[in-house]
Amino acid sequence: MSLEGYRGKALDILSKLNVNIGDIIEISRDSFKIKGILMPSYSRDDSIIVIKMENGYNVGISVDNSKISVLEKRIQKPLNVMPEKEEKSEVKIISTGGTIASKIEYETGAVRPALSTEEIIQFMPEINEIAKISAEILFSILSENMSPDKWIKIAEAIKSAFDKGNLGVVIAHGTDTLAYTAAALSFSLKKLQGPVVLVGSQRSSDRPSSDSPINLYSSVLLAKKAPFGEVVINMHGESSDLYTLAHRGVKVRKMHTSRRDAFQSINDKPLAKVLWLEKEIKILRPDYHTKDEETTVDSKFDNRVFLLKYYPGFDPSFIDYLVDTKKIRGIIIEGTGLGHTSTELLDSFKKAAKDGIFLGMTSQCIFGRVNMNVYTTGRLLQQVGVVPLEDMLPEVALVKLMWVLAHENDIEKIKNLMLTNLVGEINSRHSLDFFPRWYHE
């Protein structure tokens, strides 16, 4: 195997030791001693060796005045990514891009997307000890460029992976729109032969504090061994590196711009906790969807929808404009509190409803559910055609509406489907345990 990224002094020393990327080495200097897995180098300094320590962090150490010993030869050929034509894989990794598929360009300081899946695996060679892996690069995009047509292609790739005998599928994806994709796949894949695990990272793979290796490792573990046939998002469960949490794909939101434990189940409990060091999956709730004998895809979306966030002073003419364009079939409203907007919007909503446009109400509050029967404003909004959508997250309601509109034209059937709990997007009852992080205890 080539010693990727190494040159100069570091390359000379490693070559003489006949060491490869993925081997376990020990570096000692005076009383200092550290061991770990040899990783690729992206440093400008040709004396630096990069190793992954047992805690999952990468560290760079100069070879100057250091003694290097090879403790274990682990990989003798370029990655154990199984070519599908040679042997069936157990877990398929499908890469769509994002930070988990990114690294730093040290020349510019920028983070670039579109690492190959093989490069991703280099950052966590241990995943090859869990399962036989095959890999596919479906897209190489930043998550803000994700779209419904790409959701369809992801769903089809997942179906193909299960048809080829994989036990589970891991989708590498950028975090910013990860919840949208998870919801889209949840509605598209209501029958699954195994877990579909969406995973991202908040920090690129070659940064010392990266969550990428642990997230990827635990996701492969989930994909192979979890008992459910559902779409989940699996990310760090707390700020350190002890465990990850698998959140149901229609009940999860990114709650922080940069924290590694940014993802959280909303109005719900996670499905599972992954103790990656122990290689243990702890199921946290019994009501998961069990695996089906076959995987079916029903992936159609109509994106003629609009997500309207109400704010004081909102101009009703904006709604009138949307209706007059004749390009909108549905509006999801992010109302205040229990599901309210100004009564000045009533006439515009009434006109929209008469034109056959579905109007669904969600809340700007993170936790809780809408209840439009408590105050007069809520009752008036219902009278003009606004439908309260229980505890659905606004982005999940939007994706669900896209899916429903692609399957139905009758407004009453659309309303009924939007109020039907299809894949766990509606929770019939709430507990204070859901607010906000009971699972850290």
Say how far apart CA 379 and CA 364 lie, in whole Å: 18
Nearest to 395 by CA among 202, 190, 201, 176: 176
User: What is the DSSP secondary structure assignment for residue 130, as one 8-state letter?
Assistant: T
The 10 Å Cβ neighbour count of residue 3 is: 17
What is the token pair recorded at 141?
Answer: 């995009």
Reference 207, options 283, 258, 265, 133; nearest CA is 258
Catalytic residue among 45, 150, 153, 176: 176
Q: Identify whether 254 is a catalytic site residue.
A: yes
Active-site annotation holds for 362: no
The C-alpha atoms of residue 267 and residue 182 are separated, in whole angstroms, by 17
Tokens of 341: 């907007």
Strands (E) across 243-385 are located at 244-248, 252-254, 263-265, 272-275, 280-283, 305-309, 330-335, 358-363
Is 175 labeled as catalytic in the residue annotation? yes
Residue 257: Cβ within 10 Å count: 9
Nearest-5° Cα angle at 273, 268 to 276: 155
Residue with tokens 């193909």: 160
Q: Which of 99, 117, 181, 362 is catalytic?
A: 99
Q: How far is residue 330 from each of residues 102, 393, 398, measured CA to CA in Å? A: 36, 16, 9
* CB-based burial label for 188 (10 Å; 0-12, 13-18, 19+): buried
Please tell me the distance from the alpha carbon of residue 418 to that of residue 421, in angstroms, as a whole number.
8
Please give the single-letter amino acid code of residue 112: R
User: Rounded distance, CA 77 to CA 93, Å?
Assistant: 20
Q: Which of 96, 117, 175, 377 is catalytic?
A: 175
Of the residues 254, 269, 273, 291, only one is catalytic, namely 254
Phi and psi angles of residue 213, each rounded to the nearest 5 degrees, phi first: -60, -45
Contact at 8 Å (CB) between 418 and 360?
Answer: yes
Using alpha carbons, select from 381, 384, 403 the residue that is nearest to residue 392: 403
Cα(263)–Cα(181) distance, integer angstroms: 14
Q: How many CB atoms lie within 10 A of CB 231?
A: 31
Q: How far apart are CA 166 and CA 158, in angstroms?
A: 10
Q: What is the CA radius of gyration of the chain?
A: 24
Pure H helices in 164-289: 178-188, 212-225
Active site residues: 99, 175-176, 254
